[in-house]
Amino acid sequence: MHRLSPEAKLIAVVAVVAVIAMTPRREMIAFALYALGAWAVIATTRIGVLTYLKRLSVIIPFVMFALIVPFIGGGESVRVLGVSLSVDGLWATWNILAKAGLGATMSIALSATTAVPELLHGMTRLKVPRLLVAIIAFMLRYIDVLVEQLGRMRRSMVARGHDPRWLWQVKPIASSAGALFVRSYERGERVHQAMLARGYTGVMPTVSEQRASIKEWLTVLLCPVGAALVLIVAVV
């Protein structure tokens, strides 16, 4: 998994997620087979169970939303422990949890085995618009810088005796966010001018021009092809 070309892994992950998204929510056996395949892929990454679970926590907002759906859904209802729950809402909850979990699992496998520069080069080889690749590259590069700057502004406010924690204290936070936006915009302009002065033409230099081989394409396409066969059998 670590040695495969990034463009091949990108196509495979997108195709698998697309097949999972198209699977009817009542096909429990299909989702079980998807889960087995996804966990097998995670096992090849060797990232460890704890690391996997930590990264999987990004779907917590989807989980919180999904748990509310049975209480607000309409249609036929069923009583569980004395509480009336919507049947359609329960199926919707299962649908959200299953597809979000499987999609996040495949994304974790991709991010755990592919460095960000390699991922961007893979997108370039797949003919993704250069402007979009450049935007993604700068976003990933400077998000840590922005978080660090926001932290410095926060510590500066606390050092001056202001530590907003309540809704009616939101004005200083909004002012800080506005100042951060202005500073980030100005910094982005300076960085872009500096890059142009150094010969930047819209494409970052590549360290390696090696492309995915036929063997690699056949290897990674086993996952989406297998998922598509499961979907076809489940539907038919």
> 10-residue block means of pLDDT along the chain (236 residues)?
85 93 90 92 88 89 85 77 82 90 92 86 85 83 80 79 68 76 84 86 66 82 89 85
Same domain assignment for residues 105 and 24 = yes
Q: What is the pTM of this model?
A: 0.75
Residue 121 lies in a domain: no
Same domain assignment for residues 108 and 219 = yes
Same domain assignment for residues 110 and 176 = no
Same domain assignment for residues 182 and 99 = no
Q: Which domain holds residue 226?
A: 6-114+210-235
User: How high is the pLDDT of residue 124?
Assistant: 84
Q: Residue 16 is which amino acid?
A: V
On whether the CB atoms of residues 120 and 133 are closer than 8 A, the answer is yes
Same domain assignment for residues 73 and 182 = no
- Residue the block writes with tokens 């429990």: 28
Residue 137 lies in a domain: yes
Same domain assignment for residues 143 and 65 = no
User: How high is the pLDDT of residue 178?
Assistant: 81
Residue 82 lies in a domain: yes
- Give φ, ψ of 16 to 5 degrees: -65, -45
Same domain assignment for residues 19 and 102 = yes
3-state SS, residue 81: coil
What are residue 84's DSSP bridge partners?
79
DSSP state of 87: H
CB atoms within 10 A of CB 143: 10
Residue 1 lies in a domain: no
User: How high is the pLDDT of residue 206?
Assistant: 64
Same domain assignment for residues 174 and 215 = no
CA–CA gap between residue 27 and residue 137 (Å, rounded):
38
User: How high is the pLDDT of residue 131?
Assistant: 81
- Give φ, ψ of 125 to 5 degrees: -65, -25
Look at the chain and report how many structural domains it folds into. Answer: 2
Beta strands at 77-80 and 83-86: parallel, antiparallel or unpaired = antiparallel
DSSP 152-220: HHHHHHHHTT----SGGGHHHHHHHHHHHHHHHHHHHHHHHHHHHHTT--SSPPPS------HHHHHHH
Residue 56 lies in a domain: yes
Same domain assignment for residues 187 and 216 = no
